[in-house]
Structure 1
Amino acid sequence: MNKKIITFGEAPLVIEDIISLAQGSALASLSNTDEYNQKIKAGVDYLHALLTKEGEIYGVTTGYGDSCTVGVPLNRVHELPINLMRFHGCGLGDVFSEEESAAILAARLASLTQGYSGVTPELLSLLVLLLNKRVLPIIPQEGSVGASGDLTPLSYVAAVLMGEREVWYQGQRLPTVDVFEQLNIRSICLQPKEGLAIMNGTAVMTALACLAYSRATYLSKLTTRITAMMSIALGGNPYHFAEGLFAVKPHQGQNQIAAWLRADLAVADKHDTEKRLQDRYSLRCAPHVIGVLQDALPWFRQFIETELNSANDNPIVDGINERIYHGGHFYGGHIAFAMDSMKQAIANLADLLDRQIALIMDTKFNQGLPANLSAATSSHAMINHGLKAVQIGASAWTAEALKLTMPASVFSRSTECHNQDKVSMGTIAARDCLRVLQLTEQVAAAGLLAVRQAIGIRHQQNDTDDSTLTIGVQEMYEALTEDVEFIVEDRPLETELRSLTLAIQKQKWCLYDT
C-alpha cells in the first residue's frame, strides 16, 4: 500500500500529520516550490554574507547563553556548533520510544522548514531521509527546562546528523555510524547557525504534545463508552443524559458527550419511572467530567498546531529582508500550559472511571451483581475474589495520576548564570501528561475488564444476550468477549490488562462518529 506523503514547507501541518509520521504510516517530503526554495537559500546566503563582513550574530560569532559576550573568531565558527552538540550530551533517564523520536524529528523539521532558521537544504534533506528510513535518534527524556528550548534532548538529534551517538533502527539500539554505513547515509558537518537551529527550539515538547492530544481525544470517547456500559450493567437511569436537560447548560463538548451517551443507551426525552430517580455522581455527572476535556480539545489543538508551525529557535534569520532578530521564541509556555491543563483533565477521567469501578464491585451499590464481579459457582464462591485486586490496582493508578497533576510550569528555575532566569518547563509538563495518559489508560483497561464481566453476568442472571444492546455497545461488548474470556475461577489478569491497555493506545475500537 502506498503511504501518504506529508510535504514540509507548504501548507501548515496538523497534529494528525505528526502522528502519521511518528507511527510510520506516512512519508515526509520537502516542498519544491520556488517560494520555499528561495526562502531557504536566502537565509543561508544572508548568514554567509554576514560572516564575510564579520557581523555579530548570537551563537554564530559569539558563545552561547550567558557566554554571548565571548567573541568567536571566524576561523573557529565552524567548530562552535560541534561543541554545542557535545557539551549538551548529558541527558539522563529513560529514552524516548521510536514513535516519540520520530515525532520529535517531524516537529523539528516543521519549524526549520518555515524558512527562518538559516539551515541548509542538505540538513533538511537528511532529516527527511532519517524519518523515512526510520533511523531515529536515541534521546534521553530528562534534562530540558523548556527554554532555551529543548537543548539537551535535541543535541541527540544534532549528534546523529553528524554521525555520532546512537539510533533506533529496525527495533534495535545501534551506533549511528554503523547504521549510516549500512544504509550508505552521509553525515553532515553542521554549519555555523545549524547547531542552534536544531537544538534551540520546542520540538520535543511539541512532538509529545501531538502524541498526547491524539491519546486524549480517544480517551474522551472511550471513557464515554465505558460509562454507557457501566450504566447498563448497574441499571442506571439513562434519563440523566436527556437532550432537554443538556440544552439548558450548553457547553458544546459536554453536550457532545451526553449525545454519545444517549445514542449508546437509546435515551428518550422521557423519565423511566422504573429507574432510580438519581444515580450517583460518577454516572449522573459523567458528561460534566468528560466534557471538560472535550471542550478543551479545540484550544489544545490551537496551541499545539500554532507552535508546530512556528519558527521557534533563536536567532531568527529573515534572509529575504536581510534581518537577524534576537529573541525568545524557544520559550515553550503555550505547550507547557496546554500540557499542564490536559493532564488535569485526563486525570479526572481516571478518577471518574475509578469511582465507577468501585461502584460496580460493591454489593451495596451494584444492584444485585456479585461481590467483585466474581462469577464463581456456589461451591467455590468463598475462595474466589473476582476483580477485587483489579479495583485496588485501578485505585493505585488513579492516585498516581492525580499526584502528577501539579502544574510543572509553575516550577520555573533560574539556570545558566541567570541568563535563562525564567523558563517554561514545557517538556516536563509534556512528559508528565504522557505518564498521566498511561495511568489513565490502565484505569480504562480495568474499566473495560469490569464491564465485560458485569454485562456477561447480567446476561446469565436475566437469561438474555447482547441483542438488547445498542449497535455501538453491542459491537464493543462482542469485541471485548473476543479479547477477554469470562472470568469464572480466579486467574492472573495482568496479561488481559496489558493487552487492553495496548489496544487503547493503538485506538483499536472505532467509537463515535464526530
Structure 2
Amino acid sequence: MHLADLKNTRRTVRFDQSRLTIEDIVDIAHGRAGAALSDDPAFRAAISRGADFLDQLLREDGTVYGVTTGYGDSCTTTVPPELVAELPHHLYTYHGCGLGENFSPAQTRAILASRLASLAKGFSGVSVELLDQIVRLLDAGLLPLIPSEGSVGASGDLTPLSYLAAVLCGEREVWRDGEQVPAEQALREAGITPLRLRPKEGLAIMNGTAVMTALACMAHERAEYLARLCTRITAMASFALDGNAHHFDEVLFSVKPHPGMQRVAAWLRQDLPTDQWERNGKRLQDRYSIRCAPHVIGVLADTLPLFRTLIENELNSANDNPLIDPVGERVLHGGHFYGGHIAFAMDGMKNTVANLADLLDRQMALLVDSRYNHGLPANLVGATGSRAAINHGLKALQISASAWTAEALKLTMPASVFSRSTECHNQDKVSMGTIAARDCLRVLELTEQVAAALLITVRQGVWLRCRDYPEAVPHAALARMQELLSEDIAAVVEDRRLDPELRVLLDRIRNQEWKLYA
C-alpha cells in the first residue's frame, strides 16, 4: 500500500493507557486507520516518569537488569558505567539473525502498533520520543524488513523486534512504497532523525510479545469471517445436495446450549427456510458434513470470544522485563514476555480453522460424487449430450482442495508443546507463541483456498440443481449469493483452467467483500 493510501484513513487509533481492540490493530495493519500518540500532558508525563526514574537509579549507581547488567544468562555481568549507553545498540545488533520470508507490510504495521500499545502503558521506562518515533514510521510508511523466523516466544520476540529497534536508529532496511530502501536513507528523506536509544529502550522494544500478538489479531479477524463464509457455503451445499433444512431446527438446537453453534444454526435457517424443504423423497438424515456443520463451525464460533479475550489482554499488557514502577520507585523483574496465552489461542484457533477445511473438503466430496449428490452429474460436469464424455468438470479441483486440506490438518500439531531450553538454560521454558501464530496464519491461508474451491463448487452445484430440477428455487439469501458468485465465476460447461477464478475469490475472501449475516 502506498503512503498516500495510508494517509487517506477513515479514523485514527489513539495510543495511551486506554484499552485497544483487535479491530484497532487490524485497521492500522490494512491502512483503514492511522496511529497517533495521545497528546494529553498527563499521559506524556506518566511515560516520562519511568525514564526519569531510571536516570535517577543510574545516578545513584543502582543495579538494573539489562541497563547496568548483561542480558539473559549474562545478568551477572556488570556493565561499566561508561559503556551503559552502548548496551542497547549491542542488543539489537547481535539479534540481527532472523531468516525466512519477511513479514508482509500489513503484518509489519500490526507489529509496530502492537509494540506501541505495550510501551504506551507506561511501565517500560522509555521516553516519549521513542513512542513518537514508532508513530513517525507508521505515518511515513517506513516499515522495517522483519524476517519471520527466529523467535521462540520468550524472552519475547527478541530477534524479529530487533529489526524494529535497528530501524528506529537508522539501521538495516525498510519497505517504502513497495521498495527496499536502507533505513538511514529512508529516515533522512522523510525528515526523521535516527534515535540514540536510552539505557533500557533496546530491551523495552525487543523484550515483548508484539509479533505474536499482532499476528494473532490478524488471525482472529480472518477466522471470524471464515466461520460466516463456511456457514453460507454449507447452506449452498445443502441446497445443491437437495438436503434437509430440518437438521437446523430451532427447537433441536435449543437443547444443546452452545451459543456459537446455535448462532450458526440460526444463520443456516435464514438461508434454508424449513417450509420450502419438506418434500417427499428426501433422505431422512443428511451425511455428517451437512447435518453436523453447525457443530463443526460452532466450535470456532464458541471459542472465538475466548481467543479474543486472550489476545486483547496480551495486546493491552506491559510485557517486557523488567518493568518500571515510577510511582512506587521499584524495578520489577518478572516474565511478562512469556507468550503462553497467545500460543494457546493460536494452537486452538488453527485446530478449529483446519476443521473447517476438513468440513468443506467432505462437502465437496459429496457434491462431485454422483453416488451421493442426489441426481447431479458426476464431478458436476456442466456439458450435456455427447460433449459430456470429454469433460471432467471439477475433478481436479477436488484433488487440489483435498491437498490444501491435508496440509492444513498437518499443521495442527500444537507448537506450544515444543518448548526448547535456550540461552544457557536461562530461557529454559519458552512459549513458541510466534511459531504457533505463523502456523495459524498458514492454516487460515490454506482453509481460505479450500473455501475458494468450494465457492466454485457450490456455485456450480446450485446452478445444476436449478437447471436440472426447475422446482428447486433457492431462498433469497442464497439466490443473491449465487448472483454475486456468478459475477466472478461462469458456469463450468466446457473444461477450463480455474486458477484465475480461484485467485479472484481469494481476494474477495481476504478483503471480506461479501457481507454475510447480521
Could you say which residue in structure 2 is the equivalent of 1:125? 132
Could you say which residue in structure 2 is the equivalent of 1:473? 478
The C-alpha deviation readout for 1:79-113, integer Å capped at 9, x for no partner, is 11111101000000111000000000000000000
Please, which runs of 5 or more residues in structure 2 have no aligned partner? 1-7
Q: Sequence identity of aligned pairs in percent?
A: 61
Could you say which residue in structure 2 is the equivalent of 1:11? 18
2:28, 2:113 within 8 Å by CA — same for their partners in 1? yes
1:242, 1:269 within 8 Å by CA — same for their partners in 2? no
- 1:278–1:156 CA distance, 2 compared to 1 (3 A): same
Q: What SS is found at the alignment partner of 1:460?
A: helix
1:331 Cα offset (Å): 0.2
1:186 Cα offset (Å): 1.3
Whole-angstrom CA distance in 1 between matches of 2:448 and 2:492: 21
2:347, 2:440 within 8 Å by CA — same for their partners in 1? yes
The C-alpha deviation readout for 1:170-208, integer Å capped at 9, x for no partner, is 122222122212211211111110000000000000000
- 1:339–1:2 CA distance, 2 compared to 1 (3 A): closer
1:179 aligns with 2:178: no
1:503 Cα offset (Å): 1.3
What does 1:65-464 correspond to in 2, within 5 Å? 65-268=72-275, 273-463=280-470
- 1:420–1:5 CA distance, 2 compared to 1 (3 A): same
- Which of 492, 497, 502 is matched with 2:497 structurally? 492
- Which of 508, 514, 517 is matched with 1:512 structurally? 517
Whole-angstrom CA distance in 2 between matches of 1:2 and 1:208: 21
Whole-angstrom CA distance in 2 between matches of 1:366 and 1:272: 17
Runs of 4+ in 1 over 6 A off after TM superposition: none
1:269 Cα offset (Å): 11
Could you say which residue in structure 1 is the equivalent of 2:5? none
- 1:2–1:500 CA distance, 2 compared to 1 (3 A): closer
Whole-angstrom CA distance in 1 between matches of 2:460 and 2:471: 15
1:239, 1:272 within 8 Å by CA — same for their partners in 2? no
The C-alpha deviation readout for 1:424-450, integer Å capped at 9, x for no partner, is 000000000000000000000000000
- 1:36–1:272 CA distance, 2 compared to 1 (3 A): farther
The C-alpha deviation readout for 1:366-392, integer Å capped at 9, x for no partner, is 111111111123222222111111100
Number of equivalences: 511
Whole-angstrom CA distance in 1 between matches of 2:258 and 2:275: 21
Whole-angstrom CA distance in 2 between matches of 1:370 and 1:442: 24
The aligned amino acid for 1:80 is L
1:39, 1:320 within 8 Å by CA — same for their partners in 2? no
Q: What SS is found at the alignment partner of 2:295?
A: helix
Whole-angstrom CA distance in 1 between matches of 2:506 and 2:277: 37
1:270 Cα offset (Å): 9.4
1:472, 1:511 within 8 Å by CA — same for their partners in 2? no
- Which of 61, 64, 67 is matched with 1:60 structurally? 67
The aligned amino acid for 1:182 is E
Whole-angstrom CA distance in 2 between matches of 1:123 and 1:280: 58
Whole-angstrom CA distance in 2 between matches of 1:268 and 1:241: 12
Segment of structure 1 superposing worse, 72-81 or 350-359: 72-81
Q: What SS is found at the alignment partner of 1:410?
A: coil
2:47, 2:122 within 8 Å by CA — same for their partners in 1? yes
- 1:401–1:510 CA distance, 2 compared to 1 (3 A): same
1:503 aligns with 2:517: no
Scaled by the length of structure 1, the TM-score of the pair is 0.97
